[in-house]
Structure 1
Amino acid sequence: MKKNNLIILGIDTSCDETCAAILNNNTVLSNIVRTHSKFGGVVPELAASLHLQHIVSVVNNAIFKSKIPNNTINAIAFTNSPG
């Protein structure tokens, strides 16, 4: 990878999915989505519990599938509230 690349880990847990993606500048290297929508709608307490349960594996899988060393990530972008 070029030295000037910006590698970003993006994390979204704002609704009924736990998601993580790795971007290299404007290119998506990986995008992992773990959905919890099988429960017929968003149940906030359940969604929060499932986010906690799945976040580590989703992030690790995104890093693995991007084929980049995790020490090359320059920034992390994340949701900070519902919706």
Structure 2
Amino acid sequence: EILERGLKVREYELRRDNFSATGNFGFGIQEHIDLGIKYDPSIGIYGLDFYVVLGRPGYNVAHRKRKSGTVGFQHRLTK
């Protein structure tokens, strides 16, 4: 839900620079009140950064502690 609001603030448009070589993407917003969150004077205004990591079934093989393996080239996500 909050990712959807963040993309709506950015008008669902991201630059090419926002994407990594593995298909992950990230973007930031300047003010949290753009998301529809109420303003609290004691906190002030702050920005938010969003970063989305994409994966496929079987990606855990490369990150698990026991019997770790590699993800094949055909199974990796690319631009």
| Same topology, TM > 0.5 | no
**Larger gyration radius, structure 1 or structure 2:** 2
Larger strand proportion, structure 1 or 2? 1
With a CA cutoff of 8 Å and minimum separation of 6, indicate the structure with the bigger relative contact order.
Answer: 1
The TM-score normalised by the length of structure 2 is 0.31
Q: Give the alignment's TM-score, normalised by structure 1.
A: 0.30
**Structure with the higher fraction of residues in helix conformation:** 1
